[in-house]
């Protein structure tokens, strides 16, 4: 071999390496001299042997030229591995000195340097293949990775373990039990009551939460067995903790939460919104949603099998505001951020979180829309509404998906309501 450049070894064989050419004549001459010496080698007692020697080849009868070819091939492979590893080190560790000739040399190494970035491993595999030997087996994983369930690739290790437990319990990765335990807040009327009825009709156990105990008891009596009324103020941490203690005591687990409790304020310019009205809307719509989601997250993380689903009630106002709706619009934009954050936090624990944005579902809260509500241009106009049963069916559909599937955001609305193009 000849000389060294900035990249170390400059070439091998008769090809080009990282920095220049090898002296092919010198290499060929060395090979001829080696062959001549082998043909005329003296034995131990000084007598020359003129017959062609046969190396110990295990009975294969290989002659010296073929054996020399094998030796040269081994040498070339060894040099190839050294050059490949050197180039990998320089290209990774010293990118500033990797000029065009070095990068081009790496590309000419072809299969010896893996295209997928695993350069060292691919180089060794290539060398073993040329020698006709299988590469050594990969070392067994150590530490927590040795417990990774088979086939679980590209997912956090805690999530892999949770999905494995779900498969053992249900026979399907991430599938939900046929009968789920569902918590619905704001269940005493409107969207909450309709959704609770839909969950019960689908065969699920329903926990009804709202402040009005009388309405909850009436709804539970209408639904029948499987409905549990629990009077709850979602803005009060103590009341929320009591709600989840009841869920644990009665059911032992929680599979779905419909985070639905909400409050609104009639059209009021932001300069005329009182602090009391601001806090009332934000306290129910945002603080309450946080308290319910936080407690549900803890229970779903601790239960076995781990996991569950949280569905937040957003709004068309989570996208664009109505005239004079600062408290409500601010709270619903915040719900979107909460939904995204819960989705990210829940991945490792098989906790899915989605949001349904509803436009003009027929309920007590939207009754005024039939008479006319302020539009962006300052006029009053009646707006179409949809049967709340459609919203309820959509929530149940989101809830019954397996836990490895999630509707992150759904918008359901009256087809001709002023949302697209609002403002």
Ordered DSSP codes for 209-248: EES-HHHHHHHHHHH-TTEEEEE--TT-HHHHHHHHHHHH
DSSP-derived secondary structure letter, 394: H
Q: What is the largest CA-CA distance in the chain?
A: 122
Residue pair 120/37 in contact by the 8 Å Cβ criterion: no
For residue 381, give the 3-state DSSP assignment. Answer: strand
CB atoms within 10 A of CB 400: 16
Phi, psi of 259 (to 5 degrees): -85, 85
Q: What is the dihedral of CA 83, 88, 91, 94, to 10 degrees?
A: -90
71, burial (CB in 10 Å: exposed 0-12, middle 13-18, buried 19+): middle
By DSSP bridging, strand 380-381 and strand 373-374 are: antiparallel
Q: Which active-site residues does the annotation give?
A: 328
**What span, in angstroms and rounded, lies between the C-alpha atoms of 164 and 158?**
10
CA 109 to chain centre: 36
DSSP-derived secondary structure letter, 187: T
Residue pair 367/140 in contact by the 8 Å Cβ criterion: no
Residue pair 229/205 in contact by the 8 Å Cβ criterion: no
195, burial (CB in 10 Å: exposed 0-12, middle 13-18, buried 19+): buried
Token representation of residue 69: 């070819």
Q: Residue 369: left if φ>0, alpha if ψ -120 to 50, beta else—which one?
A: alpha
Closest by Cα among 71, 67, 73, 69 to 55: 67
Token representation of residue 420: 């697209």
**What span, in angstroms and rounded, lies between the C-alpha atoms of 228 and 208?**
6
Residues in the chain: 423
């Amino acid at each position: 071999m000849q000389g060294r450049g900035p990249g170390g070894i400059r070439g091998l064989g008769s090809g080009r390496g990282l920095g220049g050419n090898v002296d092919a004549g010198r290499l060929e001459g060395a090979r001829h001299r080696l062959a001549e010496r082998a043909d005329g080698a003296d034995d131990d007692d000084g007598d020359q042997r003129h017959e062609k020697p046969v190396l110990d080849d295990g009975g294969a009868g290989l002659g010296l030229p073929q054996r020399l070819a094998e030796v040269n091939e081994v040498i070339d492979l060894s040099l190839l591995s050294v050059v490949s590893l050197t180039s990998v080190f320089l290209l990774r560790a010293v990118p500033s000195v990797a000029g065009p000739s070095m990068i081009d040399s790496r590309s000419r190494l072809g299969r010896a340097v893996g295209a997928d970035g695993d350069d060292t491993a691919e180089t060794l595999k290539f060398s073993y293949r040329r020698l006709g030997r299988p590469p050594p087996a990969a070392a067994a994983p150590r530490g927590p990775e040795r417990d990774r369930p088979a086939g679980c690739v590209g997912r956090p290790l805690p999530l892999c373990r949770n999905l494995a437990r779900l498969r053992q319990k249900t026979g399907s990765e991430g599938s939900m039990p046929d009968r789920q335990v569902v918590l619905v807040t704001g269940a005493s009327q409107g969207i909450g009551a309709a959704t609770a009825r839909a969950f019960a009709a689908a065969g699920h156990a329903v926990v009804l939460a709202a402040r009005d105990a009388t309405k909850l008891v009436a709804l539970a009596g209408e639904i029948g067995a499987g409905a549990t009324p629990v009077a709850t103020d979602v803005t009060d941490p103590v009341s929320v903790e009591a709600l989840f203690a009841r869920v644990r005591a009665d059911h032992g687990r929680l599979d779905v939460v419909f985070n639905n409790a909400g409050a609104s304020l009639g059209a009021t310019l932001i300069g005329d919104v009182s602090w009391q009205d601001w806090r009332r809307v934000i306290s129910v719509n945002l603080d309450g949603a946080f308290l319910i989601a936080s407690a549900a997250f803890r229970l779903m993380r601790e239960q076995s099998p781990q996991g569950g689903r949280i569905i937040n009630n957003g709004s068309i106002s989570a996208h664009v505001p109505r005239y004079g709706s600062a408290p409500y619009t601010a709270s619903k934009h915040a719900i979107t951020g909460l939904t995204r954050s819960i989705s990210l936090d829940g991945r490792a624990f098989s906790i899915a979180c989605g949001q349904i944005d509803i436009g003009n579902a027929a309920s007590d809260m939207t009754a005024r829309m039939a008479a006319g509500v302020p539009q962006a241009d300052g006029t009053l106009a009646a707006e179409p509404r949809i049967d709340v049963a459609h919203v309820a069916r959509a929530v149940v559909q989101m809830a019954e998906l397996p836990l490895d599937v999630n509707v992150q955001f759904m918008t359901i609305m009256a087809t001709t309501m002023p949302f697209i193009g609002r403002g």
